[in-house]
Amino acid sequence: MKKLALCFMAMILMTGATLSGAAASDVPSGIYILEKKHAYLQFSYSHMGASHPIILFRNFDATLHYNSGNAESSKLKVTIDPKSIDSGLPKFDEELANDAKFLDAGKYPEITFVATKLEQTSEGKGKMTGDLTIKGVTKPVTLDVTLNKAAKHPMSGQPMLGFSATGSFKRSDFGVGYAVPMVGDEIIMTIEVEFMPSA
C-alpha cells in the first residue's frame, strides 16, 4: 500500500543549502546506496476509528545519484518488494501481498518511487514530490523531509547521509480501496534512512 515510500531524493534535494556549506567536503558527488541496517519504511491507517495499525516493508532499496554542486540535479529511485510487507501476522501479510484487492504482488512485483521535484522550506528541511507507482498506477506524492546528518561516518570514515521523511496518500488512488471508508483510505508513511557510498 505505501510505497513511498518512499522516499528519499527530496531528502537530498531539499538540503542543497546545508550540503553546500562546511559538510560539502564530507559528502562528495557520487552514487549513494541505502544502508540497509538503518533503513525503515512503515505506514499506518485508521482501522474503523479504533486503532492505527503499524505495518512495515522489510525489503526495499534506494539509489541516489548526488551532485554536491547542484543538489537539485540529483536523482533518486526507490524500489519496494510488496511481498516483504510485515504486519506481524503472517496470514494477513500473505493476503495483503498477494490478494488482488490489495497489492497483488504476483501481477505487480514491485512498487517504485522516483523523485521529481524539491522545495527547500528551511535549513535542512523541505518538501519532495515524486512519482509513486503501485499496481501499475502512477501518481504524485509529496513528502516532508529532514536531513538529519551529512558527515563522515565516525567508524568507517566514509561519507554518510541520514534522513527522516513523512507523507500521506489515498490508497484508493492506487486500486487498493478495499473496505473504504470503514477502514481508512489515508495511508500515513514514516521513513528513516541512511545512505552510504556505492562500492
What tens digit of pLDDT does each residue of 106-164 get?
A: 999 999 999 998 888 888 888 899 999 999 999 999 999 998 988 888 988 899 989 99
- Residue 21 pLDDT > 80: no
- Residue 8 pLDDT > 60: no
> Any idea what the CATH number is for the domain that residue 191 is in?
2.40.128.110
Q: Are 196 and 33 in contact (CB under 8 A)?
A: yes
Q: 51 φ, ψ to 5°?
A: -160, 175
Count CB-CB contacts under 10 A for residue 145. 29
For 52-64, what is the mean pLDDT? 97
First to last CA, the chain: 31
pLDDT of residue 71: 66
Does residue 2 fall inside a structural domain? no
Q: Which residue has the higher pLDDT, 121 or 180?
A: 180
Q: Three-state secondary structure along the chain?
A: CCCCCCCCHHHHHCCHHHHCCHHHHHCCCEEEEEEEEEEEEEEECCECCCECCEEEECCEEEEEEECCCCHHHCEEEEEECHHHEECCCHHHHHHHHHCCCCCCCCCCCCEEEEEEEEEEEECCEEEEEEEEEECCEEEEEEEEEEEEEEEECCCCCCEEEEEEEEEEEEHHHHCCCCCCCCECCEEEEEEEEEEEECC
Question: CB burial class (10 A; 0-12, 13-18, 19+) of residue 157?
Answer: exposed
Mean pLDDT of the chain: 87
The residue among 32, 10, 1 whose CA lies nearest residue 166 is 10
Does residue 3 fall inside a structural domain? no
Please give the model's pTM, rounded to 2 decimal places: 0.86
Domain count across the chain = 1
What tens digit of pLDDT does each residue of 183-197 get?
A: 999 999 999 999 999
Owning domain of residue 46: 9-197
pLDDT band at 65 (very low <50, low <70, confident <90, very high): confident
Does residue 70 fall inside a structural domain? yes
Does residue 4 fall inside a structural domain? no
pLDDT of residue 12: 43
Joined together, the cell numbers standing for residue 78 give 526507490
- Residue 175 pLDDT > 50: yes
- Residue 74 pLDDT > 60: yes
**How far is it, in rounded angstroms, from Cα 164 to Cα 60?**
16
Does residue 1 fall inside a structural domain? no
Comparing 4-8, 44-48, 74-78, 131-135, the range with the smallest average pLDDT is 4-8
Looking at residue 178, its amino acid is: Y
pLDDT band at 13 (very low <50, low <70, confident <90, very high): very low
For 66-95, what is the mean pLDDT? 89
Does residue 49 fall inside a structural domain? yes
- Residue 6 pLDDT > 50: no
Does residue 26 fall inside a structural domain? yes
Looking at residue 11, its amino acid is: M
pLDDT of residue 26: 57
pLDDT of residue 20: 36
**How far is it, in rounded angstroms, from Cα 190 to Cα 165?**
6
Angle at 163 between CA 57 and CA 93, to 5 degrees: 5
